[in-house]
Chain A
């Protein structure tokens, strides 16, 4: 372990950073696109069906194949990796946002409208806060997936901890494989934990905090 760190320490930090960079980029893009899209879709039920099945289809493309498919379009490197992972992150976020918004008690939306909220006020003051737990669980799910899948990104030259794992596989060097896998796992768990805290923060209270 010590010898592994001595040998690969600085590389490990760089690769971990790459991993974080690729995943975070993909996830943030995913949130930026999927959350508003999910909200928008709740206003267009017919379109929603199609969009949901298309994004479901995208999800079924094998991840390696999707990464490979990016090469003719974006070449190799980080960009195609981020784009591919972004596509993967869409579905859970989109679906959960849509379902979360749909699940908001129709009475509340009716009350919001009846009391004189505009559509925007109803979305931001009532519907999003109420569906926050479900939206957040979609984001957490996507994040964990994307972090683990981003190891595959090293195949198309995006770097990241996948480099260790694939080198280990090629060189029959288990310590490299383990040295790449453990940080990925830790990253995923840590991200999920941090998002859990964030989720608590953004989920509106419905009870006074207990003393």
Chain B
């Protein structure tokens, strides 16, 4: 996002209604070209009001909106709307028009040539992943998901580069919703459309957005990337909206290896003898030792099996150690590491710093600790003094 081109910018925008409800206050949002912005909040948070100000369906009471470098007020509302795609929850297809007429509704308003419209209709029905024969059908003859696909591609018919979507998938079943989410993500990622998407579904927002604006009772509470919001929820409202489960999950997602590694790996230096290695193993209750040189640089490992096989021929660690196939740096994300441990069957992974110094080790037991965190709660384990577990369990976890 280095060459971010500002496309919409709200500057201290407010909207007040006489009844006092549904108002928004002091909105400052900037949308860059190609972004996927999710406006999220509970009902009455002002998210839809905010979105509808972009195509002048609602006029702000105060403040101004800059659209493509010009004050939005200088645009003619009707012509403006024809340049901005618009998708609403219940697809908004005209029941008395064929799919083709529905798709080409805006081009028709713009008085395109018939053959150009025909081509566009065919192109878009393909994008919606529906057969061309559907063009002659009426909306009532399509399933809800198919109708909304048409609703989505219709928003592109006049080559609009900005699309507003107002809870477009709220009424769909989860599988259909997934499909459509793929479709709109594709529009943003592959076709470079800028999408402003209103939703109350946090999963949807986290999945799609490059930029989430969290709103509550007319105010912007937090405006950031999904990752940052998960890592640093602005306040309790955001935390609540995200849910404890997601926060914990997010923490694990970005937990780095150094957060969970054991800092005291069983190891041995190159110069030591195999007898010493066996003693160390039995002392530490392990079957594998990491091998380092005298400067603590990681060289490899030896395991009990190898020692057994070759004990008669060799006497030094340096003779029979094997190089590590897999090691990680302290800064690596745990999510990548744990996947390899679990899926590829590694029992442990040595952790090194940038200079190949052995720093620690991540074992399957370390992963188990994470599960402990998830089950018993992070807080308690952060402060061992506070653990309110029965004695026996507490002891067990000490042993682990």
Residues of chain A touching chain B, judged by Cβ–Cβ distance below 8 Å, are 105, 107-108, 110-118, 121, 125-126, 129-130, 204-208
Contact = CB atoms under 8 A, between A and B. Distances in A.
B95 A206 contact: yes
Contacts of A208: 136-138, 141
B90 A114 contact: no
B140 A115 contact: no
B316 interface: no
Contacts, number: 65
Given A107-B90, A121-B109, 10 more contacts: A108-B94, A114-B81, A115-B105, A115-B109, A116-B79, A117-B78, A118-B78, A204-B96, A206-B96, A208-B136
Interface in B122-141: 136-141
A108 B92 contact: yes
- The secondary-structure label for the interface of chain A is helix
B88 A114 contact: yes
Nearest to A132: B96
Contact of A114 (B79, B86, B97, B136): B86
B153 interface: no
Interface in B78-93: 78-82, 86, 88-90, 92-93
Contacts of B92: 107-108, 110-111, 114
B148 interface: no
A117 B158 CA distance: 14
B88 A130 contact: no
B55 interface: yes
Given A111-B88, A114-B57, A118-B78, A205 B96 contact: yes
B13 interface: no
Given A113-B81, A115-B109, A107 B89 contact: yes
Interface string B96-135: 1100000001100100000000000000000000000000
A61 B105 CA distance: 47
Contact of A115 (B81, B89, B95, B139): B81
Interface of B: 55, 57, 78-82, 86, 88-90, 92-97, 105-106, 109, 136-141, 154, 164
Contact of B106 (A113, A115, A126, A205): A115
A205 B109 contact: no
Nearest to B151: A111
Nearest to B101: A125
Contacts of B57: 110, 113-114
B140 A207 contact: yes
A121 B79 CA distance: 13
A110 B57 CA distance: 9
Nearest to B106: A115
A204 B139 CA distance: 13
Contacts of A107: 88-90, 92
Contacts of A205: 96, 138
B134 to A, nearest CB: 11
A130 B96 CA distance: 7
18 contacts: A107-B88, A112-B94, A113-B81, A114-B86, A114-B88, A114-B164, A115-B81, A115-B109, A115-B154, A116-B79, A118-B78, A130-B96, A205-B96, A206-B95, A206-B96, A207-B140, A207-B141, A208-B138
